[in-house]
A = this chain, B = another copy of it.
Amino acid sequence: MSDFEPQAGGDSCPIFPRQGPRAVVLCDGPPPEPELLAYWLAGTDVFVCADAAGHPYDELPRLPDLVIGDFDSLSGRIIDGRDGPRYLQIADQYTTDSEKALLYLSERGIEEAVLLGATGWRLDHTLYNCHLLERFAARMRLCLVDPVADIVRLGPGTSVSWPLPEGTRFSLLPLNGTVRGVTMEGALYPLLGETLETGAFATVSNRVAVSPLLLTVAEGSLLVSVDRDAEPLDEDDAFGDR
């Protein structure tokens, strides 16, 4: 059973509903499946590629509005046809290309972005892209998209209620050290005011038991990864893998 509905489009994602002008940023990690990119591009206002991500651009489901970066990996290969994307070269050695894209968007009032191609292959880039969710927390809502799950950050003092299909697999991970006062209702393994430490408690592969899933964080920053597909719960799940 798949709850992944490309026709609905990423702007209706339960854990990252569209609240205003939204951007999709394609980073230059392993490229996402074309259907996944198309799903997130549905209803998106701005489409930005970081450096060589998505090159050649005419093979993407939509032509990028902007390609941004220092172009160290695109040098000599840019073909800027009259119908091609705009290019913005920023030679700043203190930011990565994904960061350049987010800074550009944030300065233009875009407060919502989805990052694809931001995980996998190199672990250092993957982790740094995760850390951008912490860095940009005050000015942008961000969602990281991996091949199977969507990942958002819940900051201190937040509560969410997500309508998710029963059986949806999800994981909680401290993003920036200790997270306190984590309460979770509607899960197979609920939590009540728990403290989560980095690596101290297995909170991977929990499941939604009753919709909506309610999550509250008192202190700290929590990454929440939620699968796009759900498998129905069965009797074995009470003894399943966490």
- Which A residues lie at the B interface, using CB under 8 A? 70, 72, 91, 93-97, 99, 119-128, 130-136, 144, 146-149, 151, 171, 173-178, 198-200, 202, 204-205, 221, 223, 225, 239-242
Contact = CB atoms under 8 A, between A and B. Distances in A.
A96 B241 CA distance: 7
Copies in the complex: 2
Scoring A96, A127, A148, A175 by chain B CB atoms within 10 A of each residue's CB, the highest score goes to A127
B149 A96 contact: no
Contact of A123 (B93, B121, B134, B149): B149
Nearest to A176: B198
Contacts of A125: 204
Contacts of A174: 131, 176
B135 A200 contact: yes
Nearest to A137: B199
A145 B146 CA distance: 20
B241 A72 contact: yes
A175 to B, nearest CB: 7
B241 A134 contact: no
7 interchain residue pairs of minimum CB distance:
A177-B177, A135-B199, A131-B199, A124-B171, A124-B225, A134-B199, A176-B198
A96 B242 contact: yes
B93 A239 contact: yes
Contacts of A94: 202, 242
Contact of A144 (B123, B151, B240): B123
Given A202-B99, A239-B93, A240-B72, A131 B177 contact: no
A178 B240 CA distance: 35
A173 B124 contact: yes
A51 to B, nearest CB: 9
A240 B198 CA distance: 33
A122 B135 CA distance: 22
Q: Which of A132, A146, A148 has the most CB of B within 10 A?
A: A146
Given A177-B177, A240-B72, A240-B93, A119 B123 contact: yes
Contact of A178 (B126, B175, B177): B177
Contacts of A146: 121-123
